[in-house]
């Protein structure tokens, strides 16, 4: 009866934690700390405002701690109730139950039960919400610290170089593959498919937040690594992501070496004259790091994959930096893509307003495609094309498509074009042909990758709602690209 009473006491403690919402209140401690860190590192807030805000957060923290003490005390008190009740009924003696609970083997077993129970409770409080990057309060705090100062990231790179370079410096690489386009053209799907191949390697979400030093971060975070279920990403497009999903993070490198290209209103174009030897060296080292992490065990001749929509502005420079590289440009029907671009712009405008952390997160990793962060790439003639058009109009995004792909059309000989609609109709055929051109030979992986494509029937693009002149120009460019 002592064992049954002790187990019931532990169950009551866990149930009390749930009813008293101890875990959500505990999480709010990290939320307050995150808010305080954001204030400290925000260069746009003056010192007087910072001082008042930090005082306000300190009072909140004091109140939360007091609330936690009371709630935990009540949970412990409630957990004692079964012991007291059973003793009153004559089934157990309180001292015997307490002595049993303080045995070392019971402490270990009880701790496992409590930790497992708290973990399950935590999952019940945490809804899967990719719009919030699916970050826990601790993750957010770490992210805030990691991106608070560029010097911190660079210091981590230096430490990584000294400690781990010997493990990856002699890795042999084959020419990299760069996947690009304007957003909403299937670049993420292409990245996920190519990630199936053993000889290809790319970033994953596990590289966050110390993106420039992935090997160091892998070694530091390894003991705390957890597996999580995949969740739909913030775009709401059915693509599901998890910690091990591939993603585009190398924009932080471009911003590190070419910060002058990032203006307040737009992002500049890159030319071969923008080549920097130290950037080429850094990229080569970085590709080796990612290859070392993703494809351990002696796979030779690994190819790094970059999926970066902004690379559409760097076609000339990439071919100068990596002459043997392959640049895949995804081409989608302009009208369908413009509609999708507008939907996502509205989606992220709403998300950025409701969840400031998401806005900061996207800014930190250099994603300026949508919402409050949107900065168009300065393609030739774009000012005339956009010409005061409303960003929440279809014509704005179709005009942007025209500027981008007129630029790509002039560089058609430097890239490999991939027809998104054709891929959706015949994924295996398109992927087999592409892999042949890329000298990738793995029939099993091709079959696996093609299985990720949702096969669709041919659709007739809806051209209604667009300016006739823009529509005619877009169809002309699309036909030239596909011809």
For residue range 393-424, list pLDDT tens digits in order.
Answer: 999 999 999 999 999 999 999 999 999 999 99
Q: What is the pLDDT of residue 331?
A: 97
Q: What is the pLDDT of residues 365-375, one digit of tens each?
A: 999 999 999 99
Report the percent of the chain where pLDDT is more than 70.
86
Residues with Cβ within 8 Å of residue 278, at least 6 apart in sequence: 257
Cα–Cα distance measured from residue 187 to residue 183, given in angstroms and rounded to the nearest whole number: 7
- Return the CATH architecture of domain 144-482: 3-Layer(aba) Sandwich (3.40)
Give me the half-sphere count of Cα atoms (radius 13 Å) on the Cβ side of residue 134. Answer: 19
Domain ranges of the chain: 2-126, 144-482
The answer to which of 147-151, 155-159, 239-243, 282-286 has the lowest mean pLDDT is: 239-243
The more confidently predicted of residues 333 and 28 is 333
What is the pTM assigned to this prediction? 0.75
**Structure tokens belonging to residue 274:** 């923008």
pLDDT of 126 over the 50 cut: no
> Reduced to 3 states, what is the DSSP secondary structure of residue 328?
strand
Q: What is the pLDDT of residue 242?
A: 62
Give me the half-sphere count of Cα atoms (radius 13 Å) on the Cβ side of residue 412. Answer: 12
Q: What is the pLDDT of residues 329-377, one digit of tens each?
A: 999 999 999 999 999 999 999 999 888 888 888 988 999 999 999 999 9
SS (H, E, C) 443-457: HHHHHHHHCCCCCCC
Q: What is the pLDDT of residue 132?
A: 43
Q: What is the pLDDT of residues 419-476, one digit of tens each?
A: 999 999 998 999 999 999 999 888 888 888 888 887 676 677 788 899 999 999 999 9
Q: Which of 208, 203, 186, 181 is nearest to 404 (CA)?
A: 181
pLDDT of 120 over the 70 cut: no
> Reduced to 3 states, what is the DSSP secondary structure of residue 102?
coil
Which of 16-20, 229-233, 311-315 shows the highest mean pLDDT?
311-315
């Amino acid at each position: 009866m002592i064992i049954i009473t002790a187990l019931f006491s532990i169950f009551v403690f866990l149930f009390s934690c749930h009813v008293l919402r101890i875990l959500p209140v505990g999480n709010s401690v990290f939320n307050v700390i995150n808010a305080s860190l954001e204030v400290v590192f925000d260069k746009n807030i003056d010192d007087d405002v910072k001082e008042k805000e930090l005082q306000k957060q300190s009072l909140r923290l004091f109140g939360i701690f007091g609330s936690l003490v009371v709630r935990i005390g009540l949970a412990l008190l409630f957990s004692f109730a079964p012991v007291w009740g059973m003793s009153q009924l004559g089934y157990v003696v309180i001292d015997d139950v307490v002595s049993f609970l303080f045995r070392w083997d019971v402490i270990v077993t009880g701790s496992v039960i409590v930790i497992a129970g708290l973990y399950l409770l935590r999952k019940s409080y945490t809804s899967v919400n990719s719009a919030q990057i699916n970050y826990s309060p601790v993750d957010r705090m770490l992210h805030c610290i990691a991106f608070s100062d560029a010097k911190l990231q660079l210091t981590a790179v230096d430490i990584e170089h000294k400690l781990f370079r010997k493990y990856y410096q002699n890795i042999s690489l084959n020419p990299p593959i760069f996947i690009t386009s304007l957003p909403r053209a299937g670049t993420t799907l292409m990245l996920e498919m190519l990630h199936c191949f053993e000889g290809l390697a790319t970033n994953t979400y596990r590289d966050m937040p110390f993106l420039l030093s992935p090997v160091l971060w892998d070694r530091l975070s390894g003991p705390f690594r957890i597996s999580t279920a995949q969740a739909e990403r913030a775009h709401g497009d059915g693509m599901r992501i998890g910690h091990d999903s591939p993603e585009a993070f190398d924009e932080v490198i471009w911003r590190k070496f070419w910060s002058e290209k990032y203006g307040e209103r737009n992002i500049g174009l890159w030319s071969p004259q923008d080549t920097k030897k130290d950037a080429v060296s850094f990229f080569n080292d970085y590709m080796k790091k990612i290859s070392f992490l993703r494809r351990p065990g002696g796979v030779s001749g690994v190819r790094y994959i970059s999926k970066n929509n902004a690379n559409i502005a760097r076609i000339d420079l990439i071919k100068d930096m990596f002459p043997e590289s392959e640049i895949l440009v995804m081409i989608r029907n302009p009208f369908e893509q413009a509609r999708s671009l507008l939907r996502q712009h509205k989606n992220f405008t709403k998300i950025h307003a409701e969840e400031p952390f998401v806005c900061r997160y996207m800014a930190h990793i250099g994603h300026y495609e949508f919402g409050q962060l949107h900065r168009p790439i300065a393609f030739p003639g774009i000012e005339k094309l956009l010409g005061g058009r409303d960003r929440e109009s279809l014509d704005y995004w179709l005009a942007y498509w025209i500027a981008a792909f007129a630029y790509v059309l002039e560089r058609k000989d430097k890239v490999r074009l991939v027809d998104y609609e054709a891929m959706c109709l015949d994924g295996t055929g398109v992927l087999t042909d592409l892999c042949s051109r890329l000298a990738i030979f793995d029939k099993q992986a091709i079959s696996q990758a093609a299985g990720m494509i949702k096969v669709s029937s041919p659709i007739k693009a809806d051209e209604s709602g667009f300016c006739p002149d823009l529509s005619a120009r877009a169809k002309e460019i699309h036909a030239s690209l596909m011809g």
